[in-house]
Amino acid sequence: MDHKTRCENCIVRQFNSLRAMTKEELKRVSDSKLMKTVKKGEALFEEGEKLNGVYCVRDGVSKLSKLSANGKDQIVKLATKGEVMGQRSVIVEESANLSAVAVNDMEVCFIPKEAIINTLHSNPDFTYEVLRHMAHHLKEADDVIVNMSQKTVKQRIAEAFLYLKHNYGDDDEGYLLLTLSREDIANVVGTATESCIRIISEFKKKGLLKSSGKKLGIVNEKGLQDLADGF
Amino acid sequence: MDHKTRCENCIVRQFNSLRAMTKEELKRVSDSKLMKTVKKGEALFEEGEKLNGVYCVRDGVSKLSKLSANGKDQIVKLATKGEVMGQRSVIVEESANLSAVAVNDMEVCFIPKEAIINTLHSNPDFTYEVLRHMAHHLKEADDVIVNMSQKTVKQRIAEAFLYLKHNYGDDDEGYLLLTLSREDIANVVGTATESCIRIISEFKKKGLLKSSGKKLGIVNEKGLQDLADGF
DNA sequence: GATTTTATATGATAATTGTCAGTTTTTCGA
DNA sequence: TCGAAAAACTGACAATTATCATATAAAATC
């Protein structure tokens, strides 16, 4: 087993609350964890499922979504390298509120809940760190609520592209490194797939976006930003 | 100073994370806290403001809202007796993300952040309890996101009334105990005030709601529920 | 490489929701 | 109790967005 498989040496840990664990706690996590690869489109867990642990993302991206009554999947959040999924459910001992599906091929570590819960009760630094992350997610969620209700679909799509660029970057030709299907983008901004496609076409015509095969790129970032801000 | 002003004896504490504090910690909180009355319409704090502590609601209701670019206030949450406001900002040491304005006359206790922060670092039970509450709010926020993007204005208004009845109750004649203005309801569901008024009128015509002066009451709860569920 | 499936695209139309303008009603302070 | 201000209401219309139908392009499968 090479060193990359030990949590103690995992860079990913720097981004999440596991960094507040003691050496011994981390050793316990590392000994009990299970590495998994998840192929694009596969589910890590489904809404309503009881989770026996959390998933730490080593590589790839997962969408966290919830099925609405009208049969559409609303994507609430994208989880990336370093993020821990399923924390909330484990902490409050409820079944999962969201489904997690891989957007591209992923590498994750499954950490059984015991290794987490024990530390939560004994190491206040760790608990505090988890709390800080949760507080950050709550702020983000509140902001999403405001955007959802106060911005138009066009503004939200513009924002989505800016988000993708800032969080996942683009290649040397200016194409986004994370490619989402039009349907996924529609499910992020909460609109119909057709409306989403139409607006992306419009953005291309206006010289805000460009495309090459499946890839999409931002041409005029300032223009998109102005649009998102309502100008 | 009568016993009701001591946190140790405050019933409200049962509903929030303060119940996980030790006697000594609670004493410190109680000694440093400041009781305030806030009149309807007055702000407890504003978005962007640095908070020096948290507010524990003893009585009354506050709306937590955020101003959007188009000048509208989106109400993200209502905070009631027992809830603690401003926790998030104090924990992550950021300025407030939301404004808090009293919906009716309120009685709150201001607790300086020192009394909270110290305990967060030393008492894992308390930290865990705060974490549990935050996790609960995060789930609620995720659900709001899904509703906002997947339900129609009509459905969201129906839901809002059911929410008001279930969380604040109604009097013996069936009128809601918490009366919000049409504008506030519109800002909760994220729609224009005129649209909100129109739909409420429609609900009254259909025998789903009734009104008497400022008061509104639910006549046909099942009907409202069916509507909210999309039937 | 042909074929089936899936994703993207576009048009036509309907439904929903917002905006503006104006009226009526209620509230509240002088 | 009067009068101003705020809240509730209504109509007409415009803008946004969803839905349905269908076409084309791309990807996956055999």
- Report pTM: 0.94
Instruction: For residues B115 and B118, give the distance between their C-alpha atoms in angstroms, rounded to a whole number.
Output: 6
CA distance A71 to chain B (A): 9
Task: Round to a whole number and report the distance in Å from the CA of B170 to the C1' of D30.
Answer: 65
Q: Which residues in chain B are contacts of A142 at CB distance < 8 A?
A: 66, 76-77, 97-98, 141
Q: How many CA atoms lie within 13 A of A204 on its CB side?
A: 12
Tokens of B90: 């104090």
A36 C-beta neighbours (distance < 10 Å), count: 14
Per-window interface: A 78-137 vs B, CB < 8 A = 87-88, 91-92, 94, 97-98, 120-125, 127-128, 130-132, 134-137
Per-residue pLDDT tens digits of chain A, which is 231 residues long: 444 578 888 888 777 889 999 999 999 999 999 999 999 999 999 999 999 999 999 999 999 999 988 889 999 999 999 999 999 999 999 999 999 999 999 999 999 999 999 999 999 999 999 999 999 999 999 999 999 999 999 999 999 999 999 999 999 999 999 999 999 999 999 999 999 999 999 999 999 999 988 899 999 999 999 999 988
The nucleotide lying nearest B72 (C-alpha to C1') is C18
State both tokens at B58.
């003893």
Residue pair A99/A65 in contact by the 8 Å Cβ criterion: yes
Contact A163, A138 (CB under 8 A): no
Tokens matching residue B210: 């009734």
Q: What is the pLDDT of residues B68-125, one digit of tens each?
A: 888 899 999 999 999 999 999 999 999 999 999 999 999 999 999 999 999 999 999 9
**A192 C-beta less than 7 Å away from strand D:** yes
Q: Is the CB of A198 under 7 A from strand C?
A: yes
